[in-house]
């Protein structure tokens, strides 16, 4: 019976950790969106001009590239730590 309770607690901890990661990721995306908006959009309107569209696209590309680089580096660190 105690093993079942421990397994349930471990599963609950895993679910809580996953939800915390989702919340953290969502917060990062919102922060990123605000930064790109503030950097690229001078006057909100019905349409984006080509300059604004290119700026937003470049900002998103930099965000994705940086996120991938950081994720890759963390994966390398975890692999080295597990050896």
| Whole-structure pTM value | 0.59
**Burial per residue of 52-71, b for 16 or more beta-carbon CB atoms within 10 angstroms, e otherwise:** beebbeebeeebeeeeeeee
Write down the domain spans for the chain. 1-82
User: Mean pLDDT, consecutive 10-residue segments, the chain of 83 residues?
Assistant: 72 87 85 91 89 93 88 84 63
The pLDDT value recorded for residue 58 is 95
Tell me how many degrees the CA angle 69-30-43 measures, rounded to the nearest 5: 110
The pLDDT value recorded for residue 83 is 58
Question: Which residue stretches of 1-83 are H helix?
Answer: 2-40, 50-82
59 in Cβ contact with 39 (< 8 Å):
yes
What CATH architecture does domain 1-82 belong to?
A: Orthogonal Bundle (1.10)
48 in Cβ contact with 64 (< 8 Å):
no
The pLDDT value recorded for residue 51 is 94
């Amino acid at each position: 019976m105690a093993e079942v309770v421990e397994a349930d607690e471990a599963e609950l901890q895993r679910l809580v950790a996953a939800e915390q990661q989702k919340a953290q990721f969502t917060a990062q995306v919102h922060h990123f969106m605000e930064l790109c908006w503030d950097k690229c959009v001078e006057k909100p309107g019905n349409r984006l001009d080509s300059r604004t569209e290119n700026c937003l696209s470049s900002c998103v590309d930099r965000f994705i590239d940086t996120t991938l680089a950081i994720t890759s580096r963390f994966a390398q660190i975890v692999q080295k730590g597990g050896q």
